[in-house]
Structure 1
Amino acid sequence: MTDQLRLMAVHAHPDDESSKGAATMAKYVSEGVDVLVATCTGGERGSILNPKLQGDTYIEEHIHEVRAKEMDEAREILGVRQEWLGYVDSGLPEGDPLPPLPDGCFALQDVDEAAGRLVRLIRSFRPQVITTYDENGGYPHPDHIMTHKISMVAFDGAADTAKYPEDEFGPAFQPQKMYYNQGFNRPRTVALHEALLARGLESPYGDWLKRWTEVDRAERTLTTYVPCAEFFEIRDKALIAHATQIDPDGGWFRIPMEIQREVWPTEEYELAKSLVDTSLPEADLFEGIRDNA
């Protein structure tokens, strides 16, 4: 049955696939589902966040090649396939006022044209399910927001032969479901925070929760909870493979694995579009699809 199931995860940069939904992907790979990561940019303008690698001249001068190599390693760990859409990282603008985005970057592309590359990939891979980011990008990085925009256009555009002709983009195909990654949600954060404090342990989430109360941030609707605790270690290993982007000794990895598995053993999603009947809440991204696969 699972031979015909295909999942596409659309992400902005190399490393996003390992921090958002990685355990879910590893779970489905273990079940025989064909999983493809579509990476929109090369992450060329990403900062080196691992303090152990900061100041490394070679990495700074060859960041594109380094991040591509990191992506290769993470892909092997997760067991997924991966394709580049070929756009250039927009960077995260900082300052007041914000500086303009760099010429030619991903976030400045025409949305319909940029979605065309994703349409071509969807028609080739033919996924029943696609995951991406919500309209806020998960956080307001211009590349994440642009990823949302082209994903929404491509979901419908993959079946629209008037807008994306078959002789240029391949035979039409209609995905059945689209989800927004919502792994960084408040209920999960509160549950882990309280569990750590109850055990007399330090929590890395105190500042997160404080910022949540200070910012008027609407709660997202969590519709789908995928059980994948046994794949958390694979998730972490894939993330550490992106060595320029993560400190292996940082707060990301300070929560004991046994607590994570006990307190919050799922990864969460928000069902954004569905062309099949399903019952909420779900425990499977392929709910409503498996019986027809």
Structure 2
Amino acid sequence: MTEQLRLMAVHAHPDDESSKGAATMAKYVSEGVDVLVVTCTGGERGSILNPKLQGDAYVEEHIHEVRKKEMDEAREILGVRQEWLGFVDSGLPEGDPLPPLPEGCFALEDVDKAAGRLVGHIRAFRPQVITTYDENGGYPHPDHIMTHKISVVAFDGAADPEKYPEEEFGPVHRPQKLYYNQGFNRARTQALHDAMLARGLESPYTEWLERRDKYDRLERTVTTNVPCGEFFEIRDKALIAHATQIDPDGGWFRVPLEVQEEVWPTEGFELVKSLVDTSLPEDDLFAGIRDNA
């Protein structure tokens, strides 16, 4: 009974939902699953990464409002619901040594208190499955790492009426499964890189793979590959809606869709908590849940 299935995806900034697990969400929406994106910050301190909009005085002055409109458009494209947690973007500190984070930003919030806001959304929406980032944030942006921290606390806290009283946060709810987004895994990147070279095309992943090898980063375990290649086009449209962050002529789109769909037509996730029986590897975030929905 897919109308009873609910998926919550917790992200740090507007645009993260379209670059991490977006095709999976679009797939589940097409099946009648209720999908909610929770965005922790407004992206107020995000840089304008699209060279076509750099130097645009209005965009620079009204970046918060612009990114909100972009999120509205992406939400409509994906067919999901979306809510804001209301925290302030921490920015990405640069330099050696790194400068202190700005006062009042998301990454400096008390973790348990910040998780309480997410608990309220979990109890109201009552998802069986939650997706978020691993402890490295996917990449070490302070907001991504903080998103991980509050998601892990809220996953358990939503079922704890003592830590988060019902009169303040709503009736308790116990989500069944927690996943980390692992779409940018080495196996996928290598496969797409090799496929581009085999076709005589330039790969956008050459430098990425060289950096990966240099730092010898430990690979995460991808437990769940969700088939969603037919929704890659929707994913890309949602990503392009975030015009301040994405150059439609940039590296995100250099691997043709037909190559992606042929070589790697799935998105990867890492199952980290499950209160239901399931067998790994999976091809469905709701494995072990559907029969009981």
Task: Answer yes or no: same fold by TM over 0.5.
Answer: yes
Aligned to 1:67: 67
Q: Is the aligned partner of 1:14 residue 2:23? A: no
Q: Distance in 2 between matches of 1:254 and 1:213?
A: 22
Equivalent pairs counted in the alignment come to 293
Which letter does structure 1 place at the counterpart of 2:125?
A: F
- Name stretches of at least 5 consecutive residues in structure 2 with no aligned partner: none
Aligned to 2:80: 80
Q: Distance in 2 between matches of 1:120 and 1:260?
A: 38
TM-score (norm 2): 1.00
Q: Distance in 2 between matches of 1:130 and 1:272?
A: 11
Which letter does structure 2 place at the counterpart of 1:261?
A: E
Q: 1:40-189 counterparts in 2 under 5 A? A: 40-189=40-189
For residues 80-121 of structure 1, give each alpha carbon's deviation from its aligned partner in whole angstroms, at most 9, with x where no partner exists: 000000000000000000000000000000000000000000
For residues 142-162 of structure 1, give each alpha carbon's deviation from its aligned partner in whole angstroms, at most 9, with x where no partner exists: 000000000000000000000
Q: Distance in 1 between matches of 2:141 and 2:256?
A: 29
- Greater Cα offset, 40-49 or 209-218: 209-218
Aligned to 1:226: 226
Aligned to 2:274: 274
For residues 152-204 of structure 1, give each alpha carbon's deviation from its aligned partner in whole angstroms, at most 9, with x where no partner exists: 00000000000000000000000000000000000000000000000100000
Q: Distance in 1 between matches of 2:238 and 2:258?
A: 19
For residues 210-238 of structure 1, give each alpha carbon's deviation from its aligned partner in whole angstroms, at most 9, with x where no partner exists: 00111131010000000000000000000
Which letter does structure 1 place at the counterpart of 2:13?
A: H
Shift of 1:22: 0.2
Q: Distance in 1 between matches of 2:35 and 2:257?
A: 25
Instruction: Report sequence identity in percent.
Output: 85
Shift of 1:251: 1.0
Q: Distance in 1 between matches of 2:19 and 2:144?
A: 13
Which letter does structure 2 place at the counterpart of 1:53?
A: L
Q: Distance in 2 between matches of 1:39 and 1:190?
A: 30
Shift of 1:270: 0.2
Q: Distance in 1 between matches of 2:151 and 2:144?
A: 11
Aligned to 1:242: 242
Q: Distance in 2 between matches of 1:147 and 1:216?
A: 25
- Name stretches of at least 5 consecutive residues in structure 1 with no aligned partner: none
Secondary structure of 1:231's match? Answer: helix
Secondary structure of 1:286's match? Answer: coil
Aligned to 1:216: 216
Aligned to 1:206: 206
Q: Distance in 1 between matches of 2:9 and 2:185?
A: 19
Shift of 1:266: 0.1
Which letter does structure 2 place at the counterpart of 1:135?
A: E
Secondary structure of 1:74's match? Answer: helix
Q: Distance in 2 between matches of 1:54 and 1:272?
A: 40
Q: Distance in 1 between matches of 2:130 and 2:215?
A: 30
Aligned to 1:23: 23
Structure 1 residue ranges (4+ consecutive) displaced by more than 4 angstroms after TM superposition: none
